[in-house]
Amino acid sequence: MLFPAIEAALLAGKRICLATPRTDVVLELSPRLKKAFPAIEVTTLHAGSEDRHGFSPLTVSTTHQLFRFIEAFDVIIVDEVDAFPYSMDDSLHYAVNKSKKVSAATIYLSATPSKSMQRLYRSGKLKAFIIPARYHRQPIPVPEMKWSGNWQKLFLQQRIPSKINAWVSERLNQNIPFLLFFPSIRVMEQVLPLFQRLSPELSIVHSRHPDRKEKVMALRNGLVPGLLTTTILERGVTIERLEVAVIGAEHEVFSDSALVQIAGRVGRSFANPSGTVTFFHYGKSESMAKAVHHIQMMNKNAMKRGLLDE
Question: Is the per-residue pLDDT at 2 higher than 90?
Answer: no
Of all helices (H) and strands (E), which one includes residue 219?
helix 212-220
Cα distances from 257 to residues 143, 188, 234, 280, in angstroms, run: 13, 21, 10, 17
Q: What is the mean pLDDT of residues 97-125?
A: 93
Single out the residue of 96, 91, 93 nearest to residue 76, CA to CA.
Answer: 96
Question: Is the per-residue pLDDT at 53 higher than 80?
Answer: no
Question: Is the per-residue pLDDT at 49 higher than 70?
Answer: yes
pLDDT category of residue 286 using cuts at 50, 70 and 90: very high
Same topology for domains 2-122 and 144-304, yes or no? yes
Report the share of the chain in percent with pLDDT over 70.
99
Question: Is the per-residue pLDDT at 52 higher than 80?
Answer: no
Single out the residue of 37, 101, 48 nearest to residue 71, CA to CA.
Answer: 101
Which has more confidence, 129 or 278?
Answer: 278
Q: Are 112 and 82 in contact (CB under 8 A)?
A: yes
d(CA 106, CA 197): 49
Model pLDDT for residues 168-213, shown as the tens digit of each residue = 999 999 999 999 999 999 999 999 999 999 999 999 999 888 888 8
Question: Is the per-residue pLDDT at 83 higher than 90?
Answer: no
pLDDT category of residue 15 using cuts at 50, 70 and 90: very high
d(CA 191, CA 39): 47
Question: Is the per-residue pLDDT at 1 higher than 80?
Answer: no
Question: Is the per-residue pLDDT at 273 higher than 70?
Answer: yes
pLDDT at 85: 87
Architecture of the structural domain at 144-304: 3-Layer(aba) Sandwich (3.40)
Question: Where are any strands of DSSP class E within 225-305?
Answer: 226-229, 243-247, 277-281
Q: Are 199 and 225 in contact (CB under 8 A)?
A: yes
Q: Are 230 and 259 in contact (CB under 8 A)?
A: no
Q: What is the mean pLDDT of residues 232-261?
A: 96
pLDDT at 178: 99
Give the HSE-up count for residue 130: Cα atoms under 13 Å, Cβ half-sphere.
Answer: 14
Task: Assign domain 2-122 to a CATH class.
Answer: alpha beta
pTM to 2 decimal places? 0.90
Q: What is the mean pLDDT of residues 270-290?
A: 97
Question: Is the per-residue pLDDT at 266 higher than 70?
Answer: yes
pLDDT category of residue 54 using cuts at 50, 70 and 90: low
Query: What are the residue ranges spanned by the domains of the chain?
Result: 2-122, 144-304
Question: Is the per-residue pLDDT at 310 higher than 70?
Answer: no
